[in-house]
Amino acid sequence: MKQLSKHLYHAVMIFGMVVIFKQNTEAQSVKITNIEFTDNQVHVTYDLEDSIVGRYYSIRLYSSEDNFLNPLEQGAGEIGMEIKPGLSKKITWDAKKELGSSFNGKVALELRGRVFVPFINMEGFEDIQTMKRKRDYNIIWTGGRPQNILNFNLYKGEQKVQTFANIANVGHYKMQLPAHTKPGKDYRFVIADIKNKDEVVRTAEFRVKRKVPLVLKILPAAILSGAIIYFAGQSPSSSAPTEFSIPDPILPN
């Protein structure tokens, strides 16, 4: 996204400081439309516009505290990677937590966006709709740099449940989900470079299943239990096999 020269400014008092927001005024890219302050948090509403369908953006907030060098870490909502264009998108910034409760002064915040380009490309992962526990999967990808060190973070919904850490960027990795991974849907991997927060890739969602279906584990036990019940029901005095007679066959005339 190109650097824009024209800006409007909004100010809001936060526990003794004035926060100034830069707002892009040109038609393309990102534009702040509203700012509210409640419970020591700043709520920013913005529009992200793009005429090209299907393109995603990386959206970050920056502060004058470090001369706009590093993105702020206490932002939540529609901020970060893979943000879809749209209107009335919302960010909540915890200014008190970010700057400390003793901060008293002026700080300017700038909202920046750029087209999101995955730093690595997963090869064939979209074909994996189910992963079974304790089974080996060869995960393949391309791209990135030799110095990238990757974390494969397993998420279920928005909750991280497992990390496969410090994986060299060699284009492949043999992975096995542990036995304690709960079966279910809405799983995905969030793959990130351990030193660069802007280098993140999310896979398609998949389902986790048991290596052996639960019914096949229960059935042998049920059969054994039934056999025990049957034999336990026999008379203990019947030590000899039960005798019975077979009727003579009926021969044709």
In tens, the pLDDT along 67-89 reads 888 899 999 999 988 888 999 99
User: Helix or strand or coil: residue 216?
Assistant: helix
- Give pLDDT, residue 113: 83
pLDDT tier at 1 (50, 70, 90 boundaries)? very low
Query: pLDDT (tens digit, 9 = 90+) per residue, 85-99?
Result: 999 999 999 988 898
Q: How confident is the model at residue 248 (pLDDT cuts 50, 70, 90)?
A: low
What is the chain's mean pLDDT, rounded? 78
The pLDDT of residue 8 is above 50: no
Sequence spans of domains, the chain: 7-115, 120-209
| pLDDT tens digits, 15-33 | 444 444 444 434 456 788 8
- How large is the average pLDDT for residues 188-216? 83
* CATH code for the structural domain at 120-209: 2.60.40.10
Statement: residue 6 has pLDDT above 60: no
Reply yes or no on domain 7-115 having CATH 3.40.50: no
Instruction: Report which of residues 172 and 34 the model is more confident about.
Output: 172
The pTM of this model reads 0.57
* pLDDT grade for 111, boundaries at 50, 70 and 90: confident
Q: Work out the number of other CB atoms within 10 angstroms of the CB of residue 91.
A: 22
Task: Compute the residue count for the chain.
Answer: 253
Using CA of residue 20, residue 25, residue 31, residue 34, what is the dihedral sign? positive
- CA 77, 8, 11, 97 dihedral sign is positive
* Higher per-residue confidence, 148 vs 213: 148
Kindly state the helix (H) or strand (E) to which residue 159 belongs, with its residue range: strand 159-168
pLDDT band at 116 (very low <50, low <70, confident <90, very high): confident
Per-residue pLDDT, 185 = 93
State mean pLDDT over 244-251: 50
Q: Could you tell me the pLDDT band of residue 149, with boundaries at 50, 70 and 90?
A: very high
Range of weakest confidence among 140-149, 176-185, 225-234: 225-234
- Distance of alpha carbon 108 from alpha carbon 113, whole angstroms: 17
Instruction: Give the pLDDT score at 217.
Output: 57
